[in-house]
Structure 1
Amino acid sequence: MAVNSSTVLSVRAATGAPDNSALALPGGHFLDLLGTAEATNRWLSRHGLAPEDAGVREMSATQLRSLRERLRSLFAAHVAGLPALPAALAAVNGALGRAPTAALLYWDEKTGPYRAAPCPTNEVLDRALAALAANAADLLTGADAGRLTACDSAPCNRYLLRHGRRHWCSTRCGDRARAARAYARRIRPTTD
């Protein structure tokens, strides 16, 4: 299961969804799924964090990218067994406090009482940031925290929850690492 920048931004690392939003690709290429306001809006919508017509602006995309980098910092510190940067903790805690956690009580004349979390347009980003921060905090403090690790395939920058002997976030990364090892064995000089 890959942990997302999307948990990084990861929404829920334990389920492997959503995908990482900043991808280091072979050949020195980089893909940022939050690189523009339009791309950020699509990403949020695809992961159930905002309606399709949320109208995310560049300032909001910048806030989301900033949280992603803070989450990456926390994951890296956890994997390396180092203390977390105070700024990363402050960013996550700030995001956690941006949206109410309890659904409000409403009453429908036909069906009766129900609970829902209203999300006015001006709160879409706050709720998305809070959801992402909460999922990352749950991962780092939950039973699966010890399974969090970085993908062993260069240049991949993803995190995953180790399952068995798995060292890679995807089949593609595993294939790339195995091919690199095979190539290194083939070109290794033989000793007489």
Structure 2
Amino acid sequence: MEESPSAEPVLPPAPGAEQYPALDFADSAIALPGGQFIDLLGTPAAANRWLTERGLAPAGAGLQEMCTAQLRSLREQVRSLFASRVAGLPALPAALSAVNDALTRVPTAALLHWDEKNGPFRAAPHPITEIVDHALATLAANAADLLTGPDAERLTTCGSAPCNRYLLRHGRRHWCSTRCGDRARAARAYARRTRPQPM
């Protein structure tokens, strides 16, 4: 498994990724032509960078491999749910359980605290040790919103093999990027040129 050598994105975000961070999350494992694979959550440093760029963790959070493995595991479950939705098949119970578990990791109510100088105040718990739980809950909630909302009908996979990214279809477009669209059109043109001609 290769990891992106720099912070430069390999492909632009897929259509819908700006609106749904869970779509961007599912697309953080990228299959490229030639058997190449890039995992934007492949190492703790890469995962920390990915979360920081999306406002889900501070720059110096110091994620460990255990945290990164939790992110990759949830990503695979979200991808499973997206695949089930796109194919019109029932979701795997393990995928539903993983997303629901992530949803319940973070308290939704702001807790009561007491400051000696200013007195009582309410704030959601969010210490450094809960950064990953908060990120997992945020991404799981966003995936659930996408799967249950009006945009679920537009969820599809990129139509250019071997790309494995998800996107929200816009009109007839079925590709996650111009590069994938060009590759799909070139493959179709090549197939037409090499097709045996009738005599």
TM-score band, normalised by the shorter chain? Answer: 0.7 to 0.9
CA displacement at 1:171 relative to structure 2: 1.0
CA displacement at 1:20 relative to structure 2: 2.0
Aligned partner of 1:69 among 73, 76, 92: 76
Distance 1:44 1:182 in 2: 40
- Counterpart residue number, 1:11: 21
The code of the aligned residue for 2:80 comes to: S
TM-score normalised over the length of structure 1:
0.86
- Counterpart residue number, 2:5: none
Mapped contact 1:2–1:158 kept (Cα < 8 A): no
- Deviation track 1:142-169 (CA, whole Å, cap 9, x = no partner) reads 0111111111110010111111111111
TM-score normalised over the length of structure 2:
0.83
Mapped contact 1:159–1:169 kept (Cα < 8 A): yes
Mapped contact 1:2–1:19 kept (Cα < 8 A): no
Distance 2:104 2:88 in 1: 27
Mapped contact 2:26–2:166 kept (Cα < 8 A): no
- Counterpart residue number, 2:10: none
Distance 2:103 2:74 in 1: 11
Distance 2:192 2:68 in 1: 44
User: Do residues 59 (structure 1) and 62 (structure 2) align?
Assistant: no
- Counterpart residue number, 2:4: none
User: Do residues 25 (structure 1) and 32 (structure 2) align?
Assistant: yes
CA displacement at 1:102 relative to structure 2: 3.7
Distance 1:147 1:92 in 2: 21
Distance 2:149 2:183 in 1: 31
**Alignment length, in residue pairs?**
182
Mapped contact 1:3–1:158 kept (Cα < 8 A): no
- Counterpart residue number, 2:183: 176
Mapped contact 1:3–1:19 kept (Cα < 8 A): no
Aligned partner of 1:130 among 112, 132, 137: 137
- Counterpart residue number, 1:2: 15
Change (3 A) 1:45 1:19: farther
CA displacement at 1:191 relative to structure 2: 1.9
Question: Share of identical aligned residues, percent?
Answer: 70
- Deviation track 1:119-176 (CA, whole Å, cap 9, x = no partner) reads 2110000000000000000000001111111111100101111111111111111111
Change (3 A) 1:102 1:11: farther
